Amino acid sequence: MKRFAFTMLEFIFVVIVIGIIAVLAMPNLRRNPLQEAAEQVASHIRYTQHLAMVDDKYDPADATWWQTRWQIRFPHTTIAGEKIYYYEVFRDENKAGNSNANEEAIDPLTRQTLGDGVTAVASISEDAVVNLTKNFGISKVGGTCVMGGAFRTVVFDHLGRPYLDTYTGLYSNPVPNGGCTIQMQHQSDGNATITVQAQTGYVSIAYN
């Protein structure tokens, strides 16, 4: 009766192949906070656009109704000597130029408010989902999505079209051809550039 068995060489070869497959299939366990921050922000830009499209702010009785449209804004504040960068998704119902607690969107995943959760105060808690500095180590936010002020802001109309400002006119300051950018700098992992395209509001991310 014949017996069939692996030779030692065949056994070693099989072990090597299984090892290679395991390494290729294994997920990258190293956290990439810059990528996490960029993907979260891009997701919330899309969410802002969605809110604008399902919550049309048109009011024929209000000549400046367009100031209340949904927007995402990137302010910063200084806490204990450290500059903190964060963002807010809100509708400016009282047209005061800031997000009040009752105007901010709620993250459908975390149920956290997408903002500082207060009224007209530049403050942000350390555990807030929108705190880019504390959660992801973001040391600077810049870019070209800015008009009429220092904050990077993208406003959407009921068709999902992006604008750079919400106070200068109904159809003033649309995002220019080629898009506008929100650039985030990480303390050690480089930079991410989020681009919001004109007309469609399509969002893309590039790393460098």
pLDDT tens readout for residues 150-195: 788 999 999 999 999 877 788 888 999 999 999 999 988 899 999 9
pLDDT digits (tens, 9 = 90+) for 52-74: 999 999 999 999 999 999 999 99
Within-domain flag for 92: yes
DSSP string for the chain: -------HHHHHHHHHHHHHHHHHHS---S--HHHHHHHHHHHHHHHHHHHHHHS----TT-TTGGGGSEEEEE-EEEETTEEEEB-EEEE-TT-SSS--GGGB-B-TTT--BSS-SSSS-----TT-TTBHHHHH-EEEEE-S---SSSSEEEEE-TT--EES-SSS-TT-SBPPTT-EEEEEEESSS-EEEEEE-TTT--EEEEE-
Residue 196 has pLDDT above 80, yes or no: yes
pLDDT digits (tens, 9 = 90+) for 70-121: 999 999 888 888 899 999 999 999 998 888 889 999 998 888 899 887 755 5
41 band by pLDDT with thresholds 50, 70 and 90: very high
Within-domain flag for 1: no
Within-domain flag for 7: no
Please report the pLDDT score of residue 119 as a whole number. 57
How many structural domains are present in the chain? Answer: 1
Q: How far apart are alpha carbons 76 and 86 in whole angstroms?
A: 6
Within-domain flag for 153: yes
Within-domain flag for 6: no
Please report the pLDDT score of residue 25 as a whole number. 66
Within-domain flag for 3: no
Please report the pLDDT score of residue 117 as a whole number. 75
Residue 5 has pLDDT above 70, yes or no: no
Within-domain flag for 80: yes
Please report the pLDDT score of residue 29 as a whole number. 60
Containing domain of residue 114, as a range? 31-207
Comparing 124 with 117, the larger pLDDT belongs to 124
Residue 21 has pLDDT above 90, yes or no: no
28 band by pLDDT with thresholds 50, 70 and 90: low
Comparing 149 with 82, the larger pLDDT belongs to 82
Residue 38 has pLDDT above 70, yes or no: yes
Please report the pLDDT score of residue 120 as a whole number. 53
Within-domain flag for 22: no
CATH number at residue 164: 3.55.40
